Structure 1
Amino acid sequence: MSDDTLRSVDIERSSAGHYVARNVRGGSIPIGTGGDDSFTPVELLLAALGGCSAVDVDLITSRRAEPSGFVVKVTGDKVRDEAGGNRMENLRVEFTVTFPDGAAGDAARDILPRSLEMSHNRLCTVSRTVETGTPVPITVAPSTGDA
């Protein structure tokens, strides 16, 4: 991997069941088990699915007109079964986007369906990765001993 393609986050335990994800730019997100207002890993997955397409669609449509409303709802069912283990099914990303009246708003409304299609079929790395089923190996780094 090169510096141009590599993406990473570090996740550090802050206490039992509480973690902080940090990116290379200094941003952080608390992660938890659902016992407080921290996002759970599944909620972060849903946010990533919706957020990825939201960025794509917003960048395309807002060139024509600033939206007067922009909401993305992402849902899915968490299922557990003996054969497949825990996973999400029935994932759905739903956009509710409105634009002001006028020619610019009309242009943004006209491009909205195409922008959704472009995001889904080509631009959104997150949903495309989920849909293609990329393997995720999990390993343990070599121990350097306790400090």
Structure 2
Amino acid sequence: MADDTQRAVTLHRTSLGQYEVRNARGGTMTIGVGDGADFTPVELLLAALGGCTGADVDFITSKRAEPDDFTVHVTADKVRDETGGNRLINLVVRLQATFPEGAGGDAAREMLPRAARMSHDRLCTVSRTIELGTPVDTRTE
């Protein structure tokens, strides 16, 4: 898959507003509309944003020291108006990481802000797609 640039998932309806999602590697999860414990599509978007940014930053800082704790919080406000319809605004990705004492931990702490900027500015496919925007072609068959 290293040379394949296309990414895909398939959703199969299991009941009203409930779907099983499957990726090409055989992984599955369920999503819903917010009336149960399943993640909603909006929550998955926030998770994708946090997961992408978190992974970028984690890979960069962990080369210096393994974190004692690493947490990513992602928030947004859902709005609806006449000009833009339903959408999210005020997206914030907040990284909280603690590293051990010593030279490695110091290097990781020093690298943390730069790694976050690198993820935001060029590495994270999810945040780059959201910020740059791309048309969505919705088709029926």
Normalised by the length of structure 1, the TM-score is 0.92
Equivalent residue, structure 2, for 1:85: 85
RMSD: 0.8
Which residue pairs with 1:69 in the alignment? 69
CA distance in 2, matches of 1:13, 1:30: 10
Letter aligned with residue 35 of structure 2: G
Query: How many aligned residue pairs are there?
Result: 139
Q: Deviations over 1:26-71 (max 9, x none)?
A: 1112110001110000000000111001110001111111100111
Structure 1 runs (4+) deviating above 2 angstroms are none
In structure 1, what is the equivalent of residue 102 of structure 2? 102
Shift of 1:122: 0.7
Distance 1:87 1:62 in 2: 34
Supply the distance in 2 between the matched residues of 1:112 and 1:86 (Cα, whole angstroms). 34
Q: Give the fraction of aligned pairs with identical amino acids, expressed as a percent.
A: 63
Distance 1:29 1:76 in 2: 23
Q: 1:45 — aligned with what?
A: 45
Tell me, in whole angstroms, the C-alpha distance in 2 between the residues paired with 1:36 and 1:12. 18
Counterpart-to-counterpart distance in 2, 1:113 and 1:27: 33
Query: For 2:120 and 2:62, how far apart are their aligned partners in 1?
Result: 18
SS at match of 2:81: coil
Does the residue aligned with 1:43 lie in a helix, a strand or coil?
Answer: helix
CA distance in 2, matches of 1:84, 1:63: 42
